[in-house]
Amino acid sequence: MRALSRVVVSLTLLTSTAWGLGNNFPTRAKVEPCEEVRIAQEEQFSAEPETTIFTVSAELAEKCLQSVPIKKKDALRLVDSISSFWKWQSSLDYLTDPPKGYLLPAVDLIGGLKEIRRNVAKGKYKGEAEFQRALYHLATDAHDGHLDLPLDAISTFFYKRVEIGGLVSVSADGKSLPEIYVQYDLKAAASAELDWTPSAVDRINGKDAVQWLREYSYNDKSHDPDALYNNMFYSIPARTKGFLGGFAHQHAIYTGKTTTIEFKNDTKVTFENIATFTESFEGVNDGKSFYAKFCNATLTTEPNSSAKKRNVVQAAPITQSRAVKDPRALYPDAVYFLSNGDVAGYFLDGEFSDTAVLSVLAFISTYQDGISEAFSELVVRFLAACRKNGKKKLIIDVATNPGGKVFVGFDLFKQLFPNAEIKNRFNFRAHEQYEVLGDKINDLLTDDKLTIADIEQADGLFDPDVYTRADGKKFSSWKEWYGPDTVHGYKFTRPARWDLENPGLTKGGNLMVSGYQDRLDVASQPFDAENIVLLTDGACASTCTILASLLKQQGVRSVVMGGRPRDSPMQAIGGVEGSMVLTLEDLYTIIKPVFDKYITGNELRRLEDTDLGELYRSAPYLMGRTSIDGAANVNYQNALHPDDDTLTPTQFVYEPADCRLFYTQEMMFDISAVWTAAANVAWGGGECVSGSASGAF
């Protein structure tokens, strides 16, 4: 039998002030659900004034959301503004008709918005939550981590399964098919003598557990089914970031008041789901007042305010001493680590004592002055330590890495391969808004009467001077760069690269990449390509995928962990492979001054009924309807392989890893066991999952 007494929750759940959490709590006079949430918050805050996270039952939170009315005029305005913004999504056309090899269904984003708009007009949505979830699911169906639409109402509550906690998928030996367990159970069994043996999970809410998790995983944004499945589970890298896996942390998806787990030893347990929130419910008495408070599209600050979303603090220091607390508590002692936890270096012991590990959880996850330079310097010092200590092999662990700053990824690559060329190409979706805005900005850039300070967009996204052609030569003009070219029946700009010799690119916090400009003095190549392995869990996204592509071009092999329980290959890269995210706020800060300062009356009239005119008018409204003002994003730039003549975005290209392994129970509590397993298949003669090994293994 399994232990039934484990409850790992906030202390507020264990007091009578936690409303809506079962039948043992005091009954109250009937009140509106949203008012009940407000009262619960008031009582929890009174009991614990320092708390910033409040808790109610998932059922109560959902009843509150379902009571929020939809306002047709606002909803139509919201859909129209989203439609104009989503035209900037670089993969918009490919998503409607994906090429062979893409593993997920097609989705027509603009067609889907039109259908949602018709449903709003016909009054088919019962409330704001149903309407916003239709938009949420449409965006998620693109399975693009850069396409984000965190709308206000449905982002208020964060659904969780804290009593159960995380699930794990573990194999007996790393090659046999894995089974699902409750992570708390395995942890208890590993740390104490128990009178019960953990049993594998058989069913969730009455359905086969693997099938339930596979279906539920499609609410996430990875573009690979195995990466989606992996995201459901606990892992040490995810836990280091405060994440127990997609099963435990449900985001905006409500799946019922309880979750029932059936185990293979015929035991069955039902747990109550909860919801947490941080927003103040002051003044909220019902669904209407909820809408007025959270859905009123009032920007808290002006767009592009420096105080808006980030605080500039001192650079995160590089640390070698344990006198400073290591942010990676579940990892072994590091040779070096960055104090924000993004990157750390380790040396393995035992059989693979000649092997080093560079663990990269993100290519900058915090906004700190000088953080990119600190990351780069840590890599310099760690590689120097590898040379000094005679390390011959390197594992680059990018498990759960969501990306970050592109130039930081470039810099890591150039430190590993200083003589290699960064050949990765990209293009942009060519559309009316892009062309009109680009034409206008480039007219200004070439206007001798205006200074660079006047224009504001020099060395910006629309300035061809920050790019080179695919052959490394400069574009002669905006027109040469923009094209457009017809690819797969759709219009795109000409393939380009970043001009890393352009000093203007270092503006705005971009790192000067090793090997370019003033950083020509780079140490010699520290490891041969055959002695480097890229270790992933399929979640590698954005900048991480750019690094992975560059390493693969040099002959670096990849090992991927986990995935669905079947003997087959798995892609090393399952996260978004677009190479640049564009926020609505950043786009609006380009559009607004152009319209306000440089668009003539005649031009304004011509643009009034266009998508660009709509976005100029409605972007502030859409920014105000996101959970953090301006937080809506699109993928702006398609990544292209340097040798792919079809110019297919890498997001749609199937690329299996060279070797696949399943997690074992030991790996849930010792990250070194993951690294040792990767080293063993790479250099120790170990075996991969059946059917997953490439010719490189």
Please state the rounded mean pLDDT for residues 130-147: 98
pLDDT in tens, 665-680: 999 999 999 999 999 9
pLDDT value of residue 308: 35
Of the pLDDT bands very low, low, confident and very high (cuts 50, 70, 90), residue 634 is very high
**Residue 397 and residue 672 in contact, taking contact as beta carbons nearer than 8 Å:** no
pLDDT in tens, 182-210: 999 999 988 877 778 899 999 999 999 99
Residue 511 DSSP code: P
Q: Which region holds residue 362: left if phi is over 0, alpha if psi is between -120 and 50, else beta?
A: beta
User: Alpha-carbon distance 538 to 520, whole Å?
Assistant: 34
Of the pLDDT bands very low, low, confident and very high (cuts 50, 70, 90), residue 299 is low
Of the pLDDT bands very low, low, confident and very high (cuts 50, 70, 90), residue 504 is confident
Q: What is the mean pLDDT of the chain?
A: 90
| Higher pLDDT, residue 324 or 266 | 266
Share of the chain above pLDDT 70, in %: 90
Angle between helices 72-86 and 128-140 (to 10 degrees): 10
User: Alpha-carbon distance 573 to 519, whole Å?
Assistant: 30
User: Alpha-carbon distance 82 to 76, whole Å?
Assistant: 10
User: Alpha-carbon distance 71 to 56, whole Å?
Assistant: 26
CA angle 239, 240, 246 (to 5 degrees): 30
pLDDT value of residue 457: 67
| Whether this model's pTM surpasses 0.85 | yes
pLDDT in tens, 216-250: 999 999 999 999 999 999 999 999 999 999 999 87
Cα dist from 530 to 154, 459, 527, whole Å: 48, 38, 8
Of the pLDDT bands very low, low, confident and very high (cuts 50, 70, 90), residue 453 is low
Nearest residue to 174 (alpha-carbon basis) of 670, 677, 557: 677
Q: In the CATH hierarchy, which fold is given to the domain comprising 318-423+515-577+651-683?
A: 2-enoyl-CoA Hydratase; Chain A, domain 1 (3.90.226)
pLDDT value of residue 461: 86
Cα dist from 457 to 111, 364, 460, 474, 506, whole Å: 33, 25, 5, 18, 14
pLDDT in tens, 73-131: 999 999 999 999 999 999 999 999 999 999 999 999 999 999 999 999 999 999 999 99
**Which residue spans of the chain are classified as CATH 3.90.226.10?**
318-423+515-577+651-683
pLDDT value of residue 366: 83
| Higher pLDDT, residue 137 or 194 | 137
pLDDT value of residue 174: 95
Please state the rounded mean pLDDT for residues 365-377: 91
User: Alpha-carbon distance 59 to 159, whole Å?
Assistant: 10
Give the distance, in angstroms, between the CA of residue 32 and the centroid of all CA atoms in the same chain. Answer: 36
For the ranges 207-216, 456-465, 510-519, which has the lowest average pLDDT? Answer: 456-465
Whether 509 shows a pLDDT value over 80: the answer reads no
Of the pLDDT bands very low, low, confident and very high (cuts 50, 70, 90), residue 28 is low
Of the pLDDT bands very low, low, confident and very high (cuts 50, 70, 90), residue 448 is confident
